[in-house]
Every structure is written in C-alpha cells, then in structure tokens.
Chain A
Amino acid sequence: MQVLEESLKTHVKPTEMKNIIVIFCLLVTGLFYSCDEGNKAVYEPDSVVESTDSISVYFRENFLKPYGTAVRWQWVDRYVDDSKRVTPPFRDVCVPMGEFLKRFWLEPFMITESGTKFMKDHFPPEIVFVGSKMYNSDGESITLGYADAGVRITFTQVNEYDLTNKEWLLLQLRTADHEYGHIIHQRHNLPNGFKEVSPKNYKSNNWLNLAGDVQASGPKISREAISLGMVTNYGTSNENEDFCEILSIYLTSDKAEFEQRYLTHEPELTYQKIDADGNPVVDADGNPVMLDPADDAVKMNEGRDLISIKLNMIKKYYMDNFNVDLDQVRDEIMKRIDEVLNPA
C-alpha cells in the first residue's frame, strides 16, 4: 500500500488526484444507491407445515410443547456421526419409548415443584432415537447413547424396547441420567471440589483395559475402578464421566445394593464367615469359620471413601442449586422400576 501511494504521488498531479477522489466518491455512491431496494438478500423459507403423523403429534404434544424438546424419531442422517452404522427405530416403539422417558426419567424428578422447574429448565432441546445398536466404524464395537454439547441426547437400541427386560430398561435409563448429568455440569460446572477428590486416579482411554471382575457388562465394573474411587470402569476416564456415572448409577440402583457395593467397608482383617441369614458360621467342632480378607481390601475401602465423598458432593450440589433431593428421586425411580419388573 505504501508503495502504491508513493507511485501515485510520483506520477499524478494534485489536480488530477482531486478528480480521481471525486470520481471515486461518485462510483461508491452509485454502487450503494443504484441497486434495486426491492431485492431480498436474505432467503425467507416457506412456512413449515406441521406433520399430522400421529407419532409426530404425540411428540409435539408431550415433549415439544411442555419442554421445548424436539424428538427425532424419523431418520435424518445429520443427527448421527456419519462414521457410525445404525438403523432408525420401528414406528411401533416410538410412542412407547416416549412414554418410557416420561415415566422413568422425567416424572421421578417432577414429583416436587422444584424438580419440575429443574427438568423444564434443563431438558435437552433434542432427543434422537436410534433403533439399532450404534456400531463404530470397525463394525463390531458399539457406542451406547451419548450427548452432544449439552443439547442433544441420543438413545440407541430403541427397537429392543421391552419394559420387562431389566438390562434394557437400565441401559436406557442410565443413558438418560448419565447424559443429562453432562447437560447439568456443562451449564453449571462440576460441584465445587469434585475435581480435587481423586484427580490422579483418572485413566483417560486406559479405562478400556480394566477388568470386569465385579460386573462384566451393563456397565462393566472392576474392583480396580472402585479402588480408584469410581463406580464403573467408564467413570475412571475423566472427572466429567465420573460425575455422570456416579449420578446415573446412584439414581438407578437399589439403595442397599449401592451401599453394599460402593459405600460399606469390607473386612480388612481375618473375619468370621456369615451365612445368608446373617448368622456366624461355625465348623463341625463349633469353631468359627474364619475367612481371609481380599488382598485389595484396604484399597477398596479407600476407594469407597472417595465415592462417598463425591456422592455427597453431588447430592449437596443438586440440593443447593436446584432444590432436588436425589435420594427422593432415586426412591421414586426404583419404585417405578419395581412396578414393571415385579407387577403385583
């Protein structure tokens, strides 16, 4: 630019320069005024006609109007990562799946006024139904449900809808509560101090290498994960997943079972065997039958203490920020699960 200016100064006389400026101004003025003001630069799409399909009507009435949530039950490929291989849902399962989400995910929170506000304030703008498992590009491994940037939760295996199948029911419900947890911490951050409880125990992608010695699947859980202060193997990947795993497993577990596995200390010293009724076991001579503690008992109990600390932080966080009592929500969810799995 400097070179150009010097060049003009060298070759153009002052009067000519003045003329050039005048002409330039005229041209610019012409440019702005000569175009037809009637032209519309912005495309205005035609008005959208609402679908009269009974399934669309159901989701409009039950999710879009009350929560502002669009449920994507008809296949649109942009809602799913194009490296995944999936199929869309059966029409027949879409409304039942919507009812399932209302009954087991939404309503247990909404038994209180503050819980209702909490759900209406945070319910995701988009829910996507995928009929099949979500196969990764290797064609074999699968991704369970996931949440995108706090705005969309995707449910997989919707075509396997079966309320009497505890495994399926918990998979879907834990997906909902886990992914909803992401929406919460993405908007409000993790509870204060949560990251500092077990910062050195996260394993990033190495969580995949953990065993399934406590529970082989749905979700996979190892003693090592519990020793690290996490409720599942996946929870060891990072603090965000840790938060969501504690939340979803807590909300969808029987109180006694959760406490037994994750909170109650196991013996660290030799101890007397107890039978199924809780009575001490003795041998033929009347001597107590003694058992050795597990090799990792101390570490397991240390991990349980970490889980207890983080769980209390999460409970307090929900109570302080949203006036939501997670114990109450958990009890309501478990009551509803019991109703379908063990009908009177």
Chain B
Amino acid sequence: MKNILYVFVALITLFSSCDKNTDPVFDKSPEQRLSSVLSEYKAKLTQGDGYWIAYYSGSAILMKFKEDNTVEFRSTYDGGKEDKTITYRVGASQVPELVFENYTVFQALYEANRSTGEYEFLFDHISNDRIDFISKTDLGDTKTKLTFYKGVPEDIDKVKAMIAKFSKMSFFKKVLVAESSYEAMLITIPGEATLQVVDEDGSISSNKYGFEITKDGLLFSPEITIDGVDVASFIYDEGKGQFIANASGKNISIEVGAKPTAPQKGIYNDFMNTNFKVIENYSYALDSVQPLLKQDIPLLSAFQIYVQWGYVLGYASGHAGGNWAGFSAFTFAENSDAADELLVAWDSRIYGQWWKDIYYNDGGQKLLGFILDPNGLYIMKAGLDSYYLISNSDPSQYVLVE
C-alpha cells in the first residue's frame, strides 16, 4: 500500500513539473525588453526637434539630438570653440546610459577639470520636459549630476544675454527674505556659489553650491537653503534688478549692491600673513583672462602672487624659457584711505623669459589692470586661507586667491 502511495506521488510530480500552458510574465526576452527601454530613451532625446539645454560646470550647453545618432552642440564654453557635432550612444553596460562618443564641449569641460568633469551619464529620471542624469564614473557618494531641460534654439542666446548681464553685476549680493530678518551674502564665481550667513554669535558660516546662469535666472545644485527653505532656481526681475524666488510661501530675493556694508576687521593683516597665493578662479567679468593668455602660453596653469616678496608670476610647466615668468617689485600695502583694503603698486620690473607673452596679451593687461586698480581692492574672507580680491572701481571684477 505504501509502495502504491510512493508511485502515485512520483507520477503526480512527473506530470505536474512543467506546465506548458503557463503564461510568461513578459512577452519578450530580457534583451528585447532592455532594447525597448533604450529605444524609448532615445526617442525621448530626439522627440520634437530634439533640442535640450543643460547647465553644467559653469556653462550652458544646447544640444540637438538626431535620429541618426548624431548630436549638435552650441555652448557658452570658451566662445563655442569646442562645439563639435559628434555621435552619441544610448546603451547599457550596467544601467541605461548616454555616452558622447567623441570629443566635444563635454570632453573639453572634462579636460579642464578631470576630477569633476564627465561625459558618460546614467539615466536617472525621465519626463517629457526634463531628464536627470548622474555621472557614470564618479567615485564616492557625491556624484556629478546633470539635467537636460527641453529647449529651443533661442535658449542659448538667452543664456548668453543673461551671462552678459550677470557679469556686470557687483560681487556684493545680498539674499533677503520678505517679512523676515534673514540676511545672507551670496558670492558667485563661474560654477560655484557660496552663501555666507552671519550667525548670532558673530561667526560666519559658509555653504557652497553648484551654480549656473540659466536663460532666465540662476540655478543651484544642490538646492540652496535660505532661511530654512530649499530653493533651486531664481528668476531675474528686470524691473527690480533682482533675482527672485518663491518657495514654501517665502518671497526670497537676491539684491545686487555696490559696496560692502563694512570691511572685515583685521583682514588685511590676515591676507598678508601668507606670502604665496594662487589665483584659483575669476569672476565672469574677468573670465576671459586665462583663455586669452592661453592663446600665447598654452601651458599656463595659474597665476601666483607673492604678497610679501612682491611678485605676480604666471606658472606654465614646460613652457619654453622656464616654468615661471611675470613681474616683480610689487607693493601690497593697506590702503591709507580705507582700512583693511588693499592697494597694489608696481615698479615695472619684470621676471623670467616670457613676461612679454603676458604683458602684451589682452588677458595679461586685463589682469594687471585689475590688480593695480588705483582705487584699491576689497579683501573678503573666502575660507581658512583663501580670499576674494574685489576691484573697488568695478566690483564685478574679482578673483579667488588661495
């Protein structure tokens, strides 16, 4: 009896182990389904006229994606010199990705800053008017993010107009919240914004954000936190001459001022304590300095300032005639007419073999003109041993030195 039971169980198992009539969960193979997703993503990129605009690493990039896998560019980076039509690929190695397959503005931005640039992006979120990407190759938790906004060809010209407007704005920008005592200072350099808030105990807290100029205002990534509220974008109000935003019922404005309310006490001595400094970044009004100089000094990496020794030197490792050249006999003194402001004088001495490449270059002249502002330079603390130097005559001209 027990044997019959065993055989019975075995036969049931035999006949029921495969049900040919079971419906598959998906009609297509995994490969077909993946291919379908990729086709859908590509269709999204090419939908309509295929225009998308991205704000990335201090530049605006307008793209036109075409069905034949080519993509055209128009950007604000380096006067559009790197805007080359190339092929793109919507593929998947691990997850769906967008790869720009040959050298164009994204690769140029990558070469300008190999630690943060990127030209391979993973699809993150997709909607009809926006696609969010994250970097494929960044390591760590904080990965480069990139957002495409559905665009039109005119967008890039609007961005250029906004950049032109913004580049003339003063260094001094106040962030205010209507019906609140909140006040902060917003400092912007291409690609980065710093929000400085004076705390109740008088100390200054600073937070940095990615920052881009858009066709109609400003964009922060991550969202900038103002008076407890997170804000991503501001719209420029032409009439008021302010950037405004409304978030969580708060009306927030960025007002552009001419001068600081008061200099930071003792900052001149702090500034002079460290002899060696490097100009790390330039305001929009001065951002042509490096590109112009690189036309004559391709290997130029940065300018160095020796405030105690009185040198302003270009550093170009491998340049014919030596790594350094520039000017000596500068005097970095406290402005006698304005405490804690800097007044720089130059005794017209030169240093190194290729000083002429700097002196007779429009970028070099612009830099010297800025440093030697007859009305002096404001000094503002940027970090532990980093400072902003701001032209008194034209506060839209400023540099970050570290």
Residues on A lying within 8 angstroms of B by beta carbon are: 15-16, 19-20, 22-23, 26-27, 29-31, 34-36, 43, 45-46, 53, 73-78, 82, 85, 87-92, 94, 131-132, 135, 139, 159
Question: DSSP majority for the B interface?
Answer: mixed
Are A90 and B102 in contact (CB-based, < 8 A)?
yes
Candidates B6, B29, B87; contact of A19 at CB < 8 Å? B6
Known: A26-B10, A46-B35, A132-B107. 6 other contacts (CB 8 A): A19-B6, A22-B6, A35-B18, A43-B29, A53-B69, A74-B102
A91 proximity list for chain B (CB < 8 A): 84-87, 102-103
Q: Decide: B119 and A87 in contact? CB cutoff 8 A.
A: yes
Do B31 and A74 have beta carbons less than 8 Å apart?
no
Interface centre among B11, B14, B100, B137 (most CB of A within 10 A): B14
Within 8 A of A (CB), among B93-126: 93, 99-103, 107, 110-111, 114-115, 119-120
Question: Which residues of chain B (1-38) have a CB below 8 Å from chain A?
Answer: 2-3, 6-7, 9-11, 13-15, 17-18, 20, 29, 31, 35
Q: Is the CB of B10 within 8 A of A23?
A: yes
For B35, list chain A residues within 8 Å (CB): 46
- B residues near A (Cβ < 8 Å) are 2-3, 6-7, 9-11, 13-15, 17-18, 20, 29, 31, 35, 69, 84-87, 89, 93, 99-103, 107, 110-111, 114-115, 119-120, 136-137
Using known A-B contacts A34-B18, A91-B84, determine if residue A75 contacts B101 with beta carbons closer than 8 Å.
yes
The answer to whether B101 and A88 touch across the interface, beta carbons within 8 angstroms, is yes
Determine how close the nearest CB of chain B comes to the CB of A119; give it in whole angstroms.
Answer: 28
Task: List 15 A-B residue pairs with CB atoms under 8 Å apart, sorted by A's residue number.
Answer: A19-B2, A23-B6, A23-B9, A26-B7, A35-B18, A36-B20, A77-B99, A77-B136, A77-B137, A87-B111, A87-B119, A91-B102, A131-B102, A132-B107, A132-B111
Q: Which residues of B contact A131 (CB under 8 A)?
A: 102-103, 107
> Are the C-beta atoms of A139 and B114 separated by less than 8 Å?
yes
- Tell me if A89 and B102 are in contact (CB < 8 A): yes
Most chain B CB within a 10 A radius of its CB, from A22, A26, A43: A26
Q: Which residues of A contact B111 (CB under 8 A)?
A: 87, 132
**Cβ of A189 to closest chain B Cβ, rounded Å:** 36
Tell me the complex Cα distance, A132–B114, Å: 12
Residues of A contacting B136 in the complex (Cβ-Cβ under 8 angstroms): 77
Q: Which of A53, A135, A159 contacts B103 (CB 8 A)?
A: A159
